[in-house]
Structure 1
Amino acid sequence: MNKPSYVQDYQAIVEVLNKYSDGCKQANSSIMKPAFNEQATIFGVDGDGKLTGGPIQGLFDTIDRDFHPSPEAQGGIVKVDIVGIAASARIDTNDVSGFCFTDFFNLLKVEGKWTVVSKIYHTHVAP
């Protein structure tokens, strides 16, 4: 019995996620846009405990308007889980425009290419 091997898929997903990370670091949404499907969504919880988010364009607008280049930012892909054409991933990032995030991504392999279809996040409270 052959077990599935996702080495090539893993590498392709890492490339997609690196576009997101690079866009955050450089505060430039045009770098990260290719990582996301045009129908993708983003959601989080605001300081009042309320759900916030919607279409992924909200992330792009926030990156371009409120973030600044952060060459000191550090991040890492903590986990990638792949089954067939579906995957999930987690990235932890420190010092992106003064923020620390844990981001969770859902990806699908659409027409042979991995794309982020949803992102949820947690913003860590600064010490």
Structure 2
Amino acid sequence: MRFEKLDVWKRASRLSCEIYKVTESVKNWGFKDQITRSGLSVPSNIAEGEERETAKEKIRFLYYAKGSLGELVTQLYIGIEIGYLEKHSSMEMVKEAKELAKILGTLIKNKESQIKEDNADYKI
């Protein structure tokens, strides 16, 4: 399946766009750079993984995307706490990031199960 058809990729892309929008007025370049990078990393890693040849490679990039969501949630919480980000909209993004992490976790488990099933087919 092409990554563009994946709902999780579409949602992660929208979340990344939203992060760029809400951080537009943030003056702290280091914070702004870090949070936009972690947000951009999620759909990028999903796409890169889907373009890989083997299931193990695909899984590895899904794990990267899931890890980036953890980074993003942390940065959103910090941004709220230090007053860089508006609380309500940022908490909505936290909620979306956590939902995406659950979806990626399910995708990873399904792909890992498929590998185990495929490997079991070859055992004598």
Would you tell me which structure has more strand in proportion to its own residues? Answer: 1
Would you tell me which structure has more helix in proportion to its own residues? Answer: 2
Q: Which has the higher contact order (CA 8 A, sep 6+)?
A: 2
**Higher Rg:** 2
TM norm structure 2: 0.30
